[in-house]
Amino acid sequence: MTLLRDERWPVARLIPMTSSTGVEAKERNAASALLAVLSHVDEFGRTLLKPLGAPAGKIEAFVEAPFKLDNGKTLRPDGLIGVTRAGKTWWALVECKIADQALTPEQMEGYLDLARSAGIDAVLSISNHYTTSSSDYPIPIDRKKLRKVSIHHWSWVRVLTEAEVQKVHRGIKDPDQAYILDELIRYLSDPRSGVVQFDDMGPSWTKVREGARDHTLRKTDADVAAVASRWDELIRFLSLDLTKELGRDVRQLARRQEAAASDRAQALRRSLAESGRLYADIQIPDTAGPLEIVADLSTRQIVVSTELAAPKEGQSRGRLSWLLRQLQKAPPDLTVEVLLARTSQTLSAPLGQIRDDPSAVLPDRTREIRSFRLSLRRDLGLNRQAGRGSFIDSVLTNVRTFYGEVLQQLTPWKARAPKLPPLKPGPIESAAAGAPEAIDDALDRAEEEAPSS
């Protein structure tokens, strides 16, 4: 059947009233507040809904709209969004979870079945589970149910991030709408809303941390899989945190051999078990290169690095000088590694030493500098939960330090524009370099040789 709007559906309110209590009430309140703001703050609503396939049109939002099933039962999803343009309406069912409430395949597949039978275009879930983008899904879903309906997921932190980016960096034209968006930010920022920042590496953390130190981990261990999964969630949270601060879309990069989520999970578990290392790459727009993060649990250190291509012209000393001019604010213990062309040989030294003696990393004249790898190494926090001395805070702090003091200061090398050869001077230009009499003679000759009219 085709979905038709029912005037009895409860409209999403910014300040909802509910008779429910506990987690159920908080879920309804969060859903109602978010959906109300989506439907009343135009720029914010369109930014969030466009990646889901929604058109740019009038947004309406409802809460707990009842749907009767063929078996006589009634389903009440937390929300329903409609976007109307040119007489056609795009619809999405919404399911919200807060705190540590988890999505289940049975519930979400039930909503997919409902959406398909009702002619609804998409199903959206919102919870404290992090994903790379709205097209990734945090739990297994029967892919056969996605033939006519798409499914998407937002983390609450991502919603909060988008709201803050819209407010601070993109702006809201209407002052009343700006006030409404600010109220949503204030609500979601309060821990009582049920929105959870990333603040815990999970119950397996201590066992895996010590196992990496003792080299007793196996990639098939459930604890290894749990910590690897929490690491990727931390990287997604970090990306959102940088997005909020920079106003640009910071994303985790997938390595070539890890394009599929299952490949990434397997590679991360193998790395953790065999070397005690967790790793990730993130891309910050318009920077000189991607930012690589390695948390080595066996040595209890974090290394944040990037690689920068060297200039393609000039000698080695000039290429190194080009780099040093850009690192004037970088810490002296930054490791500068020089990668050479046509060999695996490298030269490295701390930046402070290179400033005093550049020859420490200069190759002989038979070798050419291909690129530079810049790395900042710090001690890792060990505590499981966020706070002073925690693993989470040490990762966030060191990435921000490296970006602020190193990566954001770098500009990729760019070849100079090719120059035209000097023009061959004509008689007047040649005479201009001589005495005034020569200029007069040249002008006279030019006048005599000109054709008469």
Query: Which of 136, 168, 193 is the C-terminal boundary of a domain?
Result: 193
Instruction: State the pLDDT at residue 401.
Output: 96
| Contacts of residue 33, Cβ cutoff 8 Å, sequence gap at least 6 | 12, 13, 14, 15, 16, 184, 187
Mapped onto helix, strand or coil, the DSSP state of residue 373 is strand
What is the mean pLDDT of the segment spanning 92-107? Answer: 94
Instruction: State the pLDDT at residue 426.
Output: 62
Give φ, ψ of 312 to 5 degrees: -95, 5
- Please tell me the distance from the alpha carbon of residue 71 to that of residue 74, in angstroms, as a whole number: 9
* pLDDT tens, position by position, 281-327: 999 999 999 999 999 999 999 999 999 999 998 899 999 999 999 99
* pLDDT tens, position by position, 390-445: 999 999 999 999 999 999 999 999 888 888 888 876 655 555 555 556 555 655 56
Instruction: State the pLDDT at residue 317.
Output: 93
Mapped onto helix, strand or coil, the DSSP state of residue 347 is strand
What is the mean pLDDT of the segment spanning 121-129? Answer: 95
- Please tell me the distance from the alpha carbon of residue 125 to that of residue 153, in angstroms, as a whole number: 5
E strand residue ranges, 330-368: 335-340, 346-350
Identify whether residues 136 and 281 lie together within a single domain: no
Instruction: State the pLDDT at residue 259.
Output: 79
User: Residue 3 domain-assigned?
Assistant: no
Identify whether residues 62 and 85 lie together within a single domain: yes
- The per-residue pLDDT of the chain, averaged, comes to 89
User: Residue 6 domain-assigned?
Assistant: no
* pLDDT tens, position by position, 381-392: 999 999 999 999
Identify which of 381, 340, 378, 342 has the alpha carbon closest to the alpha carbon of residue 362.
340
Number of domains in the chain: 3
Q: 39 near 63, Cβ under 8 Å? A: no
Asked if residue 133 has pLDDT above 70, the reply is: no
Query: What percentage of the chain has pLDDT greater than the value 90?
Result: 71
Q: Which residues of 280-291 are buried (b: 16+ CB within 10 A; e: fewer)?
A: bbbebeebbbeb
| N-to-C CA span, the chain | 86
Identify whether residues 169 and 220 lie together within a single domain: no
Instruction: State the pLDDT at residue 22.
Output: 79
Identify whether residues 266 and 367 lie together within a single domain: yes
Token code pair at residue 36:
């109300």
User: Residue 452 domain-assigned?
Assistant: no
- CATH number at 163 reads 3.40.1350
Asked if residue 453 has pLDDT above 50, the reply is: no
User: Residue 253 domain-assigned?
Assistant: yes
Edge-first strand listing for the sheet containing 150-155: 58-63, 79-85, 88-96, 122-127, 150-155
10 Å CB burial of residue 418 (0-12, 13-18, 19+) is: exposed
Identify whether residues 178 and 227 lie together within a single domain: no
Mapped onto helix, strand or coil, the DSSP state of residue 319 is helix
User: Residue 450 domain-assigned?
Assistant: no
The residue to which tokens 């939002």 are assigned: 61
Q: Which of 125-139, 146-160, 330-344 has the lowest mean pLDDT?
A: 125-139
* pLDDT tens, position by position, 183-197: 999 999 988 888 888
Identify whether residues 152 and 211 lie together within a single domain: no
* pLDDT tens, position by position, 214-272: 999 999 999 999 999 999 999 999 999 999 999 999 999 988 888 787 889 999 999 99
Token code pair at residue 189:
């920022």
User: Residue 380 domain-assigned?
Assistant: yes
Identify whether residues 230 and 338 lie together within a single domain: yes
pTM above 0.75, yes or no: yes
Identify whether residues 152 and 30 lie together within a single domain: yes
Instruction: State the pLDDT at residue 158.
Output: 92
pLDDT band at 75 (very low <50, low <70, confident <90, very high): confident
Instruction: State the pLDDT at residue 257.
Output: 87
User: Residue 392 domain-assigned?
Assistant: yes
Identify whether residues 244 and 390 lie together within a single domain: yes
Query: Which of 193, 225, 255 is the C-terminal boundary of a domain?
Result: 193
Instruction: State the pLDDT at residue 329.
Output: 92
- Please tell me the distance from the alpha carbon of residue 247 to that of residue 286, in angstroms, as a whole number: 12
Instruction: Find the domain containing 303 and state its range.
Output: 205-409
Identify whether residues 332 and 393 lie together within a single domain: yes
Q: What DSSP letter does each residue of 121-170 carry, written as one string?
A: -EEEEEES---SSTTS-SS---GGGGSS-EEEEEEHHHHHHHHHHIIIII
Query: Which of 193, 214, 241 is the C-terminal boundary of a domain?
Result: 193
Q: What DSSP letter does each residue of 410-439 carry, written as one string?
A: -----PPPP-PPPPPP-HHHHHHTS-HHHH
User: Residue 200 domain-assigned?
Assistant: no
Sign of CA pseudo-dihedral 375, 381, 382, 384: negative
Rg (CA), the chain: 30
Identify which of 11, 180, 172, 6 has the alpha carbon closest to the alpha carbon of residue 89.
6
Give φ, ψ of 171 to 5 degrees: 90, 155
Asked if residue 1 has pLDDT above 50, the reply is: no
Identify whether residues 219 and 313 lie together within a single domain: yes
Identify whether residues 341 and 269 lie together within a single domain: yes
10 Å CB burial of residue 130 (0-12, 13-18, 19+) is: buried
CA distances to 429, 439, 452 from 444, rounded to whole Å, are: 14, 9, 14
Asked if residue 207 has pLDDT above 50, the reply is: yes
Asked if residue 56 has pLDDT above 50, the reply is: yes
Token code pair at residue 435:
């005495």
What is the mean pLDDT of the segment spanning 120-140? Answer: 85
Q: 205 near 198, Cβ under 8 Å? A: no
